[in-house]
Amino acid sequence: MNRRTVAAALALLGLLALALPFVHVTVPGLFEGPLDSAGTLNLLGLCFVFGALALTYDIVFGFTGLLSFGHALYFATGVYVTAIALVRWHWSLPQSLALTAVVALVLPLALGAVCLRVRDIPFAMVTLAFAEAASILVLQNPYGLTGGEEGLALGGSVLPAALVGVANTAHLYWIAAGLLLATCAIGWWAVHSPPGRVWQAIRENERRVAVLGLNPFAYKLASFTLSGFLASAAGVAYLLLQGGANPQITTANFTLVLLVMVVLGGVGTLWGAVVGGIVYEYLDFRLVEFSNTAGVQNLPPVLRVPLSEPLFILGVLFIVLVLFLPDGLGGLIRRIPTRSR
């Protein structure tokens, strides 16, 4: 796939996505309301956010080979820093976004510089440790900033009017769609750039990269920081769509779910991760409704319970994939050789 094809494909998908809020069509079974309804747009927006988030993880894990168990931290940074600035300090949206951008750049840079001193499993554990520390910190609600277990609701007054209210869901949807497109474009550009090729070389054989005179640490740090920054951006979009921050996204569990999303979709394909993210969030949402339908409610508990738990289905699917299809769903399609791995 060359640049032009990808750009064209993205443009086409982008146009379709952006046009959705004007399409008054019902897709029964798939969505509850018509495509331009607030509920559907909100769901799609969330799906896009997760698609973008999964892509950021694919950059650091799928392309650079860094098994980070703490990626949720950077997503949560985007959510919480913006929320705190808006709600607790009463900053304007542009000011809050500027602060978030700075933190989103500095935090992965600093933590990455520390964590990347070790590799493989120790690296995974250190990243997990830092994410856990942050999770604990958030729950402790220092100085009343984070809202602890209850999270931080945005409320109506902190955002510009255009972003508030059910009627403006389309705006939030467009922001999410825009985020996804931007993340895809940046991600694609990054992994195909010269540093991106080094990332893939590092994933395959780090020692050889060092022998070639390149400094693997610098490249790994760049990958780590870029993906962390983009993850924070996704967090901001998430915050807007959800209308608040919730500590659930800081848990180790959430990072593991991210990992599963990416592996599900196909490690190292970018678009596979996006699909994985979108499908996961969709299932997560819809499965709850699906399990409340009469059809499922009437099933014996042995079937009903597992089918009502998206994480169960995800976990099982993941296990099956790891055992039988290590390249993920994307790998199935990628068997058609376009470039050598």
Partner 1 sequence: MSTLVLLLVTGLGLGALYFLVAAGLSLIWGLMRVLNFAHGAFFTVAGYAGYFAAAALPGLPPWPSWFLAALAGTLAGGLFATLTEIGLIRPLYRRPVGQVLVTVGLALATLALVEGAFGSDPRVVSLPGWMTATTTILGAAIPNTRFVVLLLALVVLGGLLFFLQRTRYGLIVRAGVENRDMVSALGIDVQRAFTLVFTIGGLAAGLAGVLGATYYGTIDPSRGTAMLISAFIVVVIGGMGSIGGSALAAVIVALVQQFLNFYAAAGTGDFAVVLLLAVVLLVRPGGLMGRPPA
Interacting residue ranges for partner 1, rule: CB under 8 A: 67, 114-115, 117-118, 121-122, 124-126, 128-130, 132-133, 136-137, 139-140, 252-253, 256-257, 259-260, 263, 301, 305-306, 308-312, 314-319, 322-323, 326
Nearer to partner 1, 293 or 338 (CB): 293
Taking the complex as a whole, the smallest distance from the CB of residue 118 to partner 1 amounts, in Å, to 4
The distance from CA 200 to its chain's CA centroid, rounded to whole angstroms, is 21
CB-nearer residue toward partner 1: 15 or 302: 302
Nearest approach, Cβ of 254 to partner 1 (angstroms)? Answer: 11
SS3 for 228?
Answer: helix
Minimum CB distance to partner 1, residue 225 (Å): 18
Q: Which is nearer to partner 1, 59 or 172 (CB)?
A: 59
Rounded CA-CA distance 307/309 in Å is: 6
Query: Residue holding tokens 């694609």?
Result: 188
Total Cβ atoms within 10 A of residue 259: 21
Q: Which tokens hold the place of 236?
A: 């901001």
> What is the smallest separation between the CB atom of 95 and partner 1, expressed in angstroms?
29
- Tell me whether residue 142 or residue 160 sits nearer to partner 1 (CB atom): 142
Nearest to 265 by CA among 61, 108, 74, 75: 61
**Between 124 and 245, whose beta carbon lies closer to partner 1?**
124
Q: How far is the CB of 24 from partner 1 (least distance, A)?
A: 36
**CB nearer to partner 1: pick between 85 and 111:** 111
Cα–Cα distances (Å) from 123 to 126, 208, 279, in that order, read 5, 20, 29
CB 174 within 8 A of CB 192: no
Find where tokens 């058609």 sit.
336
* Biggest alpha carbon–alpha carbon distance for the chain: 64
Nearest distance, CB of residue 192 and partner 1, angstroms? 25
**17/76 with CB nearer partner 1:** 76
Contact residues for 42 (Cβ-Cβ < 8 A; gap 6+): 169, 172, 173, 241
Give the burial string for 26-52 (b: 16+ CB within 10 Å, else e). Answer: eeeeebeeebbbbebbbbbbbbbbbbb
CB nearer partner 1, residue 115 or residue 175: 115
Question: Can you tell me the distance from the alpha carbon of 127 to that of 71, in angstroms, rounded to the nearest whole number?
Answer: 8
Cα separation of 172 and 175, whole Å?
5
SS3 content of the chain, % helix, strand, coil (to 5): 75, 0, 20
Tokens 């046009």 correspond to what residue?
A: 19
CB of 273 within 8 A of CB of 262? yes
Shortest distance (Å) from residue 220 CB to partner 1: 15
The smaller minimum CB distance to partner 1, of residues 165 and 326, is found at: 326
Q: How far is the CB of 325 from partner 1 (least distance, A)?
A: 11
Nearest-approach distance from CB 173 to partner 1, in angstroms: 29
